[in-house]
Each structure stands twice: as structure tokens, then as C-alpha cells.
Amino acid sequence: MRMTIFGSGYVGLVTGACMAEMGNHVVCYDIDEEKIARLNEGDIPIYEPGLESYIARNTEAGRLEFTTDVKKAVDHGLFQFIAVGTPPDEDGSADLKHVLAVARSIGENMEEYRVVVDKSTVPVGTADKVEAEIAASLEKRGKSVEFDVVSNPEFLKEGAAIGDFMKPDRIIVGTNNPRTTELLRTLYEPFNRNHDRLISMDVRSAELTKYAANAMLATKISFMNELANLAERFGADIENVRVGIGSDPRIGYHFIYPGCGYGGSCFPKDVQALARSASDVGFPAVLLNAVEDVNKRQKQVLFDKIHRHYHGDLSGKTVALWGLAFKPNTDDMREASSRDLMEALWEAGATVRAYDAEARDEARRIYGERGDLVLCDSQDEALEGADCLAIVTEWREFRSPDFESLKAALADAVIFDGRNLYDPTQVQHYGFTYYGIGRGDFIQRSDDA
Ligand SMILES: NC(=O)c1ccc[n+]([C@@H]2O[C@H](COP(=O)([O-])OP(=O)(O)OC[C@H]3O[C@@H](n4cnc5c(N)ncnc54)[C@H](O)[C@@H]3O)[C@@H](O)[C@H]2O)c1
């Protein structure tokens, strides 16, 4: 089938590559000319495991193309996917300017029936706005062309996006028109061979389903972080509590890891946007606001531990930082906890020596060259001349370091572990002072020392 994807970011590229992999003819369109030029040269602008080979194979086969020609894009696909960003506006609501710009482009260029599929995460009611925008553009042209608007929110996880797209847990199709459900069912058929994963519903419920999923996951994390802070004060170990509650099948082990806060391009903005939409309809979303507040506070926890350890004086200190991306297996630093930590450390007069296998270029793009940030090529290089070590991303390579050489490299044998990667007893055995998240007695012991 022929499809066009507007937006060649994490979602657009993965959708395009996976749809092409199934034999569809896909055109990816973006307004970012540099991005499209790089893609046309085979240079993939983001890091996502497996994506490069999918793109190479399918461009080679002529099933995947990249363009900045909007007319070509609209002419190409029966399906017009919208996968552009929906960043937070100043008041926390989702900014729909990119989504509506795409709708306008479609309306300005459409000559025959099109199914407009919204994959971007958008507030309830956006499909109506997209429909109105296309209709207005058509009217301006004096054209009458049929089209349908469908909500098909995306649930892929960065770092595992190809697997998630190829074997989705569910495919949500929100439409008020059965004809479009059938068209989407045909398009998604190859992803449904094992069993039918397509769930069809009305448009508004589909739009809300995406926010509900992200808000639920963010709630689980903030709940555990709240409990971790309590565990610290009670002298309990949250990791024991985690294992204890996860064994209850009603709770389960997924997504209950305590840490130094959630980041990324989705949870923070989606929780905020849903809370904002709630207040717009006169309903104060008490729980959602609390989830967000807990997370903001949690992103400061690691800095507070470092600050307290050094008795409030960090000027001239050098902190080795392992991890910059908001989670492993991605280069995405949007809303990453590393940013809160680094910015607080700089404010306090410290220097950061950071290492991340994939996010170094992104950090350089965000912060530029500055004297208090050294971007290193290896874990060991980050330790050179550092006073202590902080960990904010649970990349696999950080899990089993050589603690002897780690201790020898640091001026002070102290680890601030924002992801609870290590066994406190083991690291203390090597002579470290260890700060995890929610592992209270160890903090008290080191404070006493
Ligand atoms: N990243 C994720 O893990 C993820 C997962 C599920 C859903 N989502 C949602 O999907 C949407 C896209 O997210 P992303 O992470 O891929 O964003 P992204 O920022 O990586 O990519 C967005 C792309 O859209 C392009 N763009 C902006 N305006 C455009 C226009 N008028 N026409 C064509 N292209 C345009 C930008 O240049 C950019 O390349 C968001 O709504 C996000 O919430 C993201």
C-alpha cells in the first residue's frame, strides 16, 4: 500500500521503516531539509537499535523515500500519517502547531480521497481540529475532496522501537467510520498474523487511551519514588520493598523501579498535557499533578545527596557522570534527569565529566562547548581527575564495573547511584560510600561517618 509519513523523527522513521519492511511503498516527509538530506545520504539522524539496517534495506529496494516536497508527499499516499512533535506549550498543554500545519498542507494539496492518520500524541478533540483544518484548506481552494481522520496513537518505546512496532501489544484505531477501520485493518494485517491486536474504538477514546497509558506508567514510577523517599527516612531498603510488592500479580514487577526521575519526550509532557486538558474542562486532576510534582522533586534527589555529602560546598569539585540519555539504548536527552543534575552541579560550581555511549553528540548540541562539561569517550575517561561518581542512566555497561580500579581513579570513594544498579553491601565492601535511591540505612551510616 502507498503511505506518506509527515515527520521523520523517532516515531516517523520507525513507522516508515517498519511499514516499508512489510512491502508498503513509503514516502517520509519532513520540513527539516538538513534531516532529509542526511537521510537521503544514508545517514540516520537518531540512534535507535536496528533502525539503520531497516532503512538501508528498504531505501535500496525502492520502498522507502525521503522528501521535502510536500506536493509529492500528499500525492503519494492513500494513508497520510501525522508523526510530528507535540511539544508542551508554556501552560503545559500540547502545542498542536505542527499537527495543524500538516493538516493544512494536506488540505492545500489533496486531489483525491485520503485517510489522515494521527500518530502523534494529541489531546482529546484534536481529530476534530485536524478535520476542520483540512476542510478549511479545501474550501479555500474551492475543492470538494473526501477524506477521513483516524486516531492511531503510537506506543513504541525508544530503544526497543523496532520490536515494539513489528510486534505491537495493541494497535489502537479510533474512528467514527467503519470504512476507515477496515482500511487500517488491511494496512496493519502483516503485524497481526500471530493474533489480532487491533482494537477499534471511537476517536476520542483512542486519543485518551494514549494519555491514559503514559499517565499510568508515570504514576507507577512516581509512586515508587515517593515510597523510596519514605524508605530512606524509615531506614528501609526500597529494593526489598520492590521485590516484596512485585510478587503480587495484581501489582507485578514491571515499571516499579525507583530512580532519579522519569524523563524523555513523552511522560513529562503527556502527564502535563492531560492535567492541562483536565483543567480546561473544569476538572482538577489531583493525581496527575501530584505525579508530575513528585517527578520534578525526584530529579533533584541525586543533586541533594551530592550536595549534602560535600557539606554544601561543591565549588571546584569534579563529578564523573555515567549516562546522559533519559534511558538506555537511545540518544534522546529530552527531559533527561542528567540535565537537571548537570545544571544543578554547574550552578553550585562543580565540573562534570560525562560519558554516554550514544548521547554525547546530543549533549554537545544542547550545551555547546563549555568549560564545566567534559564529554568523554569512555567510562574510564570520565573518572579521570573526578572526585566522585554519579550514575543517571542504566546502560548495561555500567552494571558490573571493576570496583578496585574505580576506587583508585576517584579522589573520594563515593558513588551516587541514581538507578540502584549496585548492591550497597558489595560496594561498601570495596570501601565506597554508597548513596542509592531509597536505601535509607546506608545513607544514615555514611552521614554518621
Ligand atoms: N518518541 C517516542 O518514544 C514516542 C512514542 C510514542 C508517541 N510519540 C509521539 O509521537 C510524536 C512524534 O514524536 P517524536 O519523538 O518522533 O518527535 P521528533 O521530535 O523526534 O520528530 C518530529 C519531526 O517532525 C518534524 N516536523 C515538524 N513540523 C513538521 C511539518 N509541518 N511537516 C513535517 N514534519 C514536521 C520535525 O522536523 C521532526 O523531524 C509526538 O506527538 C510524541 O509525543 C513519541
Distance of alpha carbon 221 from alpha carbon 255, whole angstroms: 6
Query: What was the pLDDT predicted at 354?
Result: 98
Percentage above 90 pLDDT, the chain: 96
Pocket test for ligand 1, best of 30, 84, 86 (most atoms within 8 A of CB): 84
- Nearest protein Cα to ligand 1, atom 7: 154
Q: Are 260 and 296 in contact (CB under 8 A)?
A: no
Flag whether pLDDT at 446 surpasses 90: no
Q: Are 361 and 388 in contact (CB under 8 A)?
A: no
- Strand 351-355 relative to strand 318-322: parallel, antiparallel, unpaired? parallel
Question: Which cell numbers in the block locate residue 22?
Answer: 512489510
- Nearest protein Cα to ligand 1, atom 18: 9
Pocket test for ligand 1, best of 30, 169, 274 (most atoms within 8 A of CB): 30
Q: What is the pTM of this model?
A: 0.94
Q: Rounded mean pLDDT of 381-388?
A: 98
Distance of CA 270 from the midpoint of ligand 1 (Å): 14
**pLDDT tens, residue by residue, 217-260:** 999 999 999 999 999 999 999 999 999 999 999 999 999 999 99
Pocket test for ligand 1, best of 11, 51, 267 (most atoms within 8 A of CB): 11
- Nearest protein Cα to ligand 1, atom 20: 9
Distance of alpha carbon 243 from alpha carbon 257, whole angstroms: 10
Query: What was the pLDDT predicted at 33?
Result: 98
Flag whether pLDDT at 66 surpasses 70: yes
Flag whether pLDDT at 442 surpasses 80: no
Distance of alpha carbon 427 from alpha carbon 433, whole angstroms: 8
Distance of CA 121 from the midpoint of ligand 1 (Å): 9
Confidence band for 179, pLDDT divided at 50, 70 and 90:
very high
Flag whether pLDDT at 309 surpasses 70: yes
Distance of CA 411 from the midpoint of ligand 1 (Å): 43
Distance of CA 334 from the midpoint of ligand 1 (Å): 12
Distance of CA 396 from the midpoint of ligand 1 (Å): 27
Question: Which cell numbers in the block locate residue 442?
Answer: 546506608
Q: Are 410 and 319 in contact (CB under 8 A)?
A: no
The ligand 1 atom nearest the CA atom of 120: 41
**pLDDT tens, residue by residue, 396-426:** 999 999 999 999 999 999 999 999 999 999 9
Distance of CA 366 from the midpoint of ligand 1 (Å): 18
In 3D space, the residue among 239, 274, 367, 372 whose CA is nearest the CA of residue 318 turns out to be 372
Flag whether pLDDT at 445 surpasses 70: no
For cell 476507515, the residue is: 180
For cell 530529579, the residue is: 299
The distance in angstroms from the start CA to the end CA of the chain is 67
**pLDDT tens, residue by residue, 20-41:** 999 999 999 999 999 999 999 9
Residue 359, CA distances (Å) to 263, 271, 326, 334, 401 in order: 14, 25, 9, 11, 20
- Look at residue 367 and give its three-state secondary structure: helix
Query: What was the pLDDT predicted at 440?
Result: 73
The ligand 1 atom nearest the CA atom of 10: 16
Cα 31–37–40 angle (5° rounding)? 115
Query: What was the pLDDT predicted at 90?
Result: 86
Active-site option among 18, 260, 266, 376: 266
Confidence band for 351, pLDDT divided at 50, 70 and 90:
very high
More confident residue, 146 or 90: 146
- Nearest protein Cα to ligand 1, atom 21: 9
28 is catalytic: no
For cell 576517584, the residue is: 410
Average pLDDT, the chain: 96
Confidence band for 448, pLDDT divided at 50, 70 and 90:
very low
The ligand 1 atom nearest the CA atom of 153: 7
- The amino acid occupying position 70 is V
Distance of CA 196 from the midpoint of ligand 1 (Å): 27
Distance of alpha carbon 129 from alpha carbon 96, whole angstroms: 10
The ligand 1 atom nearest the CA atom of 155: 6
Distance of CA 74 from the midpoint of ligand 1 (Å): 18
- Nearest protein Cα to ligand 1, atom 33: 30
Q: Are 259 and 225 in contact (CB under 8 A)?
A: yes
Pocket test for ligand 1, best of 265, 270, 272 (most atoms within 8 A of CB): 265
Pocket of ligand 1 (CB under 6 A): 6-12, 29-32, 35, 83-86, 98, 101-102, 120-121, 154, 156, 158, 265-266
- Nearest protein Cα to ligand 1, atom 11: 120
Return the H-helix or E-strand segment holding 273. Answer: helix 267-280
The ligand 1 atom nearest the CA atom of 99: 31
Q: Rounded mean pLDDT of 103-132?
A: 98
Question: Which cell numbers in the block locate residue 431?
Answer: 570501601
Confidence band for 441, pLDDT divided at 50, 70 and 90:
low
Count how many Cα atoms sit within 13 Å of the Cα of residue 332 in the half-sphere of its side chain. 21
Distance of alpha carbon 85 from alpha carbon 273, whole angstroms: 13
Q: Are 134 and 147 in contact (CB under 8 A)?
A: yes
The most distant pair of C-alpha atoms in the chain lies apart, rounded to whole Å, by: 79
Flag whether pLDDT at 343 surpasses 50: yes
Confidence band for 194, pLDDT divided at 50, 70 and 90:
confident
